[in-house]
Amino acid sequence: MPRLFDPAVRECMDVEQPVSPALERDLENLVTLNRFFGSHALVRRHLAARLHPSAQPWRILDLATGSGDLPRVIATWAARAGVAVEIDAVDQQTSTLAIARRLSAAHPNIRYHAGDIRTFGTGETWDVVLCSLALHHFSTEDAAALLCHLAQLARRHVLVSDLRRCAAGTLGVDLLTATWMREPMTVTDARLSVRRAFSFAEFAALARAAGWQNFGHARRFCFRQALWLDRE
């Protein structure tokens, strides 16, 4: 099935809007999906295999952070593992960031920034750069450019995850949003996202177009996929 991407059609979450019950419910649904469909576990496993207690905190950058659930997962895991971390989390939507800051009040090592993830941090570097559920928002050319940017920002590790476009995944999302998560914003964005997602082969091609070498790529639970790059 071909990728259905139209830059003129935006997901509801990409539109600047005030904080509202509808936006908060949509972000809650996204956190639930990340928890039950593997995004949280993927990040914990990935970092646990690479980060260790050290004299200096590990600097971590999370791009397209949404309501900040991944930074909170990382901060909680790191505290339990005795690993010091400092996390910068970026999103373009100020209302989404307001919700993220409120939900993250117990984690002073998370700092939130408003910005365009395609240009944020130019000239800086972090030990680990993460980007989840963002590439499908972009054209093929812009997605490859974003992967190139992530590699430039990372001193050691990059982890990128997203949906994997396939017929079964599209059917699953349509069923999920018809029977369980039926809030209008969630229905619109979920169904649009899975049709905009890259296939498994296209995802790897993006990494190659971005100049990534010796990268990892794997299918993940429930029609998701991950790319990673380790410099050491």
Residue ranges of domains in the chain, CATH in brackets = 20-230 (3.40.50.150)
Say if CB 100 and CB 91 are below 8 A apart.
yes
Say if CB 19 and CB 50 are below 8 A apart.
no
CA 137 remoteness from chain centre: 11
The pLDDT assigned to 1 comes to 84
Q: How far apart are CA 109 and CA 102, in angstroms?
A: 14
Say if CB 85 and CB 109 are below 8 A apart.
yes
The pLDDT assigned to 213 comes to 96
The pLDDT assigned to 201 comes to 98
Say if CB 130 and CB 43 are below 8 A apart.
yes
Q: How far apart are CA 199 and CA 231, in angstroms?
A: 26
Query: In sequence order, which residues have a C-beta less than 8 Å from that of residue 154 and are 6 or more positions away?
Result: 61, 125, 126, 127, 128, 129, 229, 231
pTM (two decimals): 0.96
The conformation of residue 16, written as its DSSP 8-state character, comes to -
71-87 average pLDDT score: 98
Say if CB 153 and CB 125 are below 8 A apart.
yes
**pLDDT tens track for 106-148:** 999 999 999 999 999 999 999 999 999 999 999 999 999 999 9
Q: What is the Cβ-side half-sphere exposure of residue 216, based on CA atoms within 13 angstroms? A: 15
**pLDDT tens track for 187-217:** 999 999 999 999 999 999 999 999 999 999 9
At 201, which amino acid appears? Answer: A
The pLDDT assigned to 56 comes to 95
56-61 average pLDDT score: 97
Angle of helix 21-36 versus helix 94-103 axis, rounded to 10: 60
